[in-house]
A and B are shown apart, each in its own frame.
Chain A
């Protein structure tokens, strides 16, 4: 789960990381009032779940309260990577001497929380890794002992020469590690970590991604979810325990299992179509889940044909068949549907479908080809 910069900053602050004060505005007037409160130049930053906010015009300096209002008005009207900006963070501008990067991720290779630091901060770290790998230093942390002071110091010396700044950065990294572990994060990032002309070390930005699997046992973090920052269909799917991702094509796919769902989308493409979505109904499906899945798919006007691909293991195919019948009785379909199912209780499922006027296929390739043909024909009509 992505959280906003201002939320990540709250978490970082609670672990002692030095961050300039700041507050949220949802209107230009609020931004103006905050700028007045802080005095001097402020930064107005769009709060959206998208990288590259600066390039998109979502981060701007304002020299006085009136300018803060004007800038906030512009930013609050922006759409960055399809996401409407609904909040801005207003924070006093800091004088910057140097910019560095500090991040922690879960590294699949070492199977540990791993620090990545670079003296080339403020820019895209993946670019640094690709173009100037010598400016990037990695360190995998032993989960049993945490980030030791000498390790943090080693990383600090990679960033700075002044031992005072090294010590300050080392302390920040230990605090960042504590925040990372306590929050069950999969990523925590300070970009940039700056030094000021008077020698202070400060975190000017904060980014954090929380492992979705932590949310059940950490309700205080689950509460940070901003549903207004997500597509409504994806929120609805998640509330029904479905995984849904909207794509650009016209073949609506409903599949059980993530791997099979991806393979189904690929096969749609192979046969000349474009998938409209990724939708995984999960392992133990009940008819209600299928009803919600169909509702989400049929609400998308770009969907011209619906494709079910179900390989029953834990999933009972008769549950899926019942879900299809229930959903289509409630709301008849406006687009053609192709159903492929095989596995657990297949005979019962086929009978349910046939009794209700549907046909069921058992072969995946045949089903995908037919769905692509029907979508293409419907698109042309």
Chain B
């Protein structure tokens, strides 16, 4: 088992003919993801790489292919509309990779998607991968290996670093999920923790957080109250100064809230073992197997 995506995932790529969309569509197909169609307005009727049909709208793509998941690579000014279009077309999982989506747009997208019963992951996220089954997004497939550990993270390359260390140490994964670093995102830590707790093949979970906001603190309380599986955590940004945005739109310490120290304390108080370095995740996981 795995969470959110598996071998039954039928993927539509929004922005399949763009620079990032076409590159990653190829990578996903190579990995074994079932890519059933693409969407680029004005290119309906053409084929991507001679095999994948392209449609003008998501709704046409869903009707023709039975796609149940989309991944979005469209540029920031059009990304909000692409997410809403996907939700309205009845897709159940929408993965928005696009970085730089205005937060004001997301205040409108979030309730819109929710009311239509779809799950949104991102924006500004690396997507997710269920090793050996399906990959949706940009996480490099070769650093992952099938196994029993679930991973959820707010970061991109830091996730790769931790997954790579785990894979090298022989610790495979059920699913790795990058929820993204923006202030408003569709799926949060708790959504993923709940899914991992319910997934019978996941035996333990890794949570990777960073400075900014209180999502990690809420996740920590959730772990204490609702989870039976061991959880190991890491927080980035212990050396980050307050008031400065550290790359991610969400990674900013405002006032006294959102510091790494506060989050590490919340993890420890709620039974999450905290790794001091990314590599220490491996040792903490092994000690809990």
Interface residues of chain A, those whose CB is within 8 Å of chain B, are 106, 108-109, 111-113, 126, 130, 142-144, 181, 184, 186, 211-214, 216-217, 243, 245, 247, 255-263, 265-270, 275, 278, 280, 283-284, 311, 313-315, 342-344, 364-365
Contact = CB atoms under 8 A, between A and B. Distances in A.
B244 interface: yes
A184 B104 contact: yes
Contacts of B101: 213
A259 B158 contact: yes
A97 B181 CA distance: 44
- Band of interface residues on B: 35 or more
B288 interface: no
A258 B157 CA distance: 8
25 contacts: A126-B256, A181-B104, A211-B104, A211-B249, A213-B76, A213-B100, A213-B101, A245-B244, A259-B155, A259-B156, A259-B158, A260-B157, A260-B160, A262-B210, A262-B240, A262-B247, A263-B278, A269-B238, A269-B239, A278-B240, A278-B247, A283-B156, A313-B139, A314-B138, A344-B140
Contact of B107 (A111, A217, A267, A364): A111
Interface string B215-254: 1000000000000000000101111110011111111000
A275 B238 CA distance: 11
A interface, by DSSP: helix, strand, loop or mixed? Answer: mixed
Which one of B99, B106, B164, B239 has the greatest number of beta carbons of chain A within 10 Å? B239
A259 B154 CA distance: 8
Which one of A111, A245, A311, A344 has the greatest number of beta carbons of chain B within 10 Å? A111
Given A257-B247, A259-B157, A259-B181, 20 more contacts: A106-B183, A108-B215, A111-B106, A112-B107, A144-B108, A211-B102, A211-B249, A213-B76, A245-B246, A247-B241, A256-B157, A257-B157, A259-B153, A259-B155, A259-B236, A260-B156, A266-B236, A266-B239, A278-B247, A343-B160
B249 A212 contact: yes
Contacts of B139: 313
A340 to B, nearest CB: 11
A109 B212 CA distance: 12
